[in-house]
Amino acid sequence: MTKKKKSTPKTRANSKKPAPPPFVSTGFWLMKSEPESYSIDDFARDGQTLWTGVRNYQARNFMMTSMKPGDRVLFYHSSAEPPAVVGTGEVLRPNLPDLTALDAASKYFDAKSSTDHPIWFCAEVAFRSRLQTPVTIQDIRAIKPLAKMALLAPGQRLSIQPVSEAEFNLILSMGAK
DNA sequence: GCCAACGTTGGC
DNA sequence: GCCAACGTTGGC
């Protein structure tokens, strides 16, 4: 005979680790791109772009569930000389399926994704400005109010990171001269 | 479910 | 080019 077995759901409440505080979006982001693959020049020329190719769940989740139209974005050149925030953008449409995952010819192809059940998502982001002066990672490191940025945390490799409004505005002002 | 191996990121 | 810090994978 079959018993209706009630399995104990593994909830956050009874797991060992304390639940992380729910993430609350500030509406401000930093997005990394290697200029060799997509630079601020490309972004300015295109006017808008689909931020595809993200294959990290945390970064994906930001684009799926946290980003909202109108959110502001710092455009950061990674693996560049020097690494720096070089411009800004604005989220037009978050949470779009990343079609590069379905394209067998793409380097971002993922056989686990399908049209019916896409597992990777992207955001459409519009170019908004170029900083007059790039704000380098050294510049950022030198400023006390920016010391908490994820960008500076050792081992922090997330390609999409939330930033505070104050951090966003400070970097903009640093780049304005 | 553990954990070692492996791949990736990205500043230096 | 190096390598530390992660995330992911896969054998058990």
Q: Which nucleotides of C are covered by protein (CB under 7 A)?
A: 4-8
Q: Is any atom of strand B within 7 angstroms of residue A157's beta carbon?
A: yes
pLDDT of residue A18: 56
pLDDT of residue A20: 60
Say whether the peptide bond before residue A82 is cis (omega within 30 degrees of 0): yes
Convert the pLDDT of each residue in A77-113 to its tens digit: 999 999 999 999 999 999 999 999 988 888 888 888 8
> For A111, what's the count of Cα atoms within 13 Å in the CB-facing half-sphere?
0
State the Cα torsion A139-A154-A39-A173 to the nearest 10°. Answer: -30
Taking the CA of residue A153 and the C1' sugar atom of nucleotide B10, their distance in angstroms comes to 12
pLDDT(A16) > 70: no
Tell me the one-letter amino acid at A136.
T
pLDDT of residue A3: 40
The answer to whether residues A27 and A88 touch, using CB atoms and an 8 Å cutoff, is no
The answer to whether residues A95 and A71 touch, using CB atoms and an 8 Å cutoff, is no
